[in-house]
Amino acid sequence: MELFWYIVLMFMLGVYVILDGYDFGAGIIHLFFAKTEEDKSAITKSIGPFWDANEVWLIASGGILFFAFPTLYASSFSGFYLPLIMILWLLIFRATGLELRSQVNNVMWHKIWDKAFGISSLLLALFFGLALGNVVRGVNLGIVENGVSTQEAIYFFVPLWNAEFSPFSERLGIIDWFTILLGLLAVVALTIHGANWVIFKTNSSINKKLKGIIFKLNIVLCVLVLVSVVVWGKVSENSLQNFINHPWLFVFPFIGLIGLLNLFRIKKMKKDGLGFLSSSLFLFGAFASTAAALFPVLLPSTNTVNPSLTIYNTAADAYGLSVGVYWWVIAFILVIVYLIVQFRVFKGKMDNVPYGHH
């Protein structure tokens, strides 16, 4: 049952990355490239009916984590307390930026909430990349100092940064040069993803410009991916061990590679949805590859005193996991029905959808 719930958790997080990822990317596009009121309106309309539903996948993933792997939930939500609170506030500001902008017809009011929406989206993309970097790098479980565990084996606390700014330090921070690398990768990848969504769902005047931006950013993304893979091998010596032991896992990086390379054809694509499909394939392949590389570890330990947190030593009781399957199936069917209805109602271009006008 542990394996089943691990797959469920990774699937739901992957769906969240793809769905809310284009919301973050659209916000970044809104911040840097939307210069006219028409373009800003088109971008917000493209995500307006979807963004709040997309966030549900994050909440549901947290629920699955709490139910299936309570030890990991308790450990990570206390250890990453500060960045989690910052993410919560950024989600709030992104939402208020979208919803409050049109409440007052004033230029200064519009600018304030435009910045709140755009900057929050940018920082959310960065922080989720930093979060992935922390999971990949690991944490000092038990807060080991000089070879001695000073706390319970599952406890840790990570400040925003440390004096050394290094992933090899005994006193790790949320932000170091390795996690910043993955944070930048996330920002670039989600900016591309958001631009593809805007192209897919609108006839905005900046769509042609966005295709050129996607092409250039994809070059940057390729470089960041290559550097990240090499650096990850330095930070974690066994990062590719699962792929060596189970070669079929290479299907995930292959899927990501197909999406990444296909984005170079963005200027020649006749159908607007192909770009979004390509960036979705890349995000899915990259996220699945990371999960496959870490399995069965959920949160690595950077010391040799306390073991890593895995799907086996953090899972709930077998009876509870079994009973939960029935409720999850019912909830999943309801969500699928909702998504089908939502995308049928809002299919096609969103330029004429009256979102944000009160």
Residues 241-280 pLDDT 10s: 899 999 999 999 999 999 999 999 998 888 888 999 999 9
String of b and e for 86-96 (b: at least 16 CB within 10 Å)? bbeebeebbbe
Phi first, then psi, for residue 239 (nearest 5°) are -65, -25
Cβ pair 181, 133 in contact under 8 A: yes
Q: Write the pLDDT tens digit of every residue in 127-171.
A: 999 999 999 999 989 888 888 888 888 899 888 888 888 888 878
Separation of alpha carbons 69 and 233, rounded Å? 27
Rounded to the nearest integer, the mean pLDDT of the chain is 90
- Is 357 part of any domain? no
Separation of alpha carbons 179 and 166, rounded Å? 9
- Is 14 part of any domain? yes
Provide the strand spans (E) within 245-321: 297-299, 309-310
- Is 183 part of any domain? yes
Sign of CA dihedral 346, 351, 355, 358: negative
CA atoms within 13 A on the CB side of 312: 5
Tokens for 173?
């921070």
- Is 352 part of any domain? no
* Per-residue pLDDT in tens (0 to 9) along the chain, 358 residues: 889 999 999 999 999 999 999 999 999 999 998 888 888 888 888 888 888 888 989 999 999 999 999 999 999 988 998 889 999 999 998 988 888 877 777 888 888 888 999 999 999 999 999 999 999 999 989 888 888 888 888 899 888 888 888 888 878 889 999 999 999 999 999 999 999 999 999 888 888 899 999 999 999 999 999 999 999 988 887 888 899 999 999 999 999 999 999 999 998 888 888 999 999 999 999 999 999 999 999 999 988 889 999 999 999 888 888 888 988 899 889 988 988 898 888 888 877 777 655 4
- Is 143 part of any domain? yes
Q: How many CB atoms lie within 10 A of CB 167?
A: 23
- DSSP-derived secondary structure letter, 237: T
The count of domains in the chain is 1
What pTM was estimated for this model as a whole?
0.92
- Is 310 part of any domain? yes
SS3 173: coil
- Is 351 part of any domain? no
Instruction: Give pLDDT, residue 358.
Output: 47
Per the structure, the complete domain to which residue 185 belongs is given by 2-345
- Is 358 part of any domain? no
String of b and e for 283-303 (b: at least 16 CB within 10 Å)? bbbbbbbbbbbbbebbbbbbb
Burial environment of residue 12 by CB neighbours within 10 A (0 to 12, 13 to 18, 19 or more) = buried
Cβ pair 192, 217 in contact under 8 A: yes
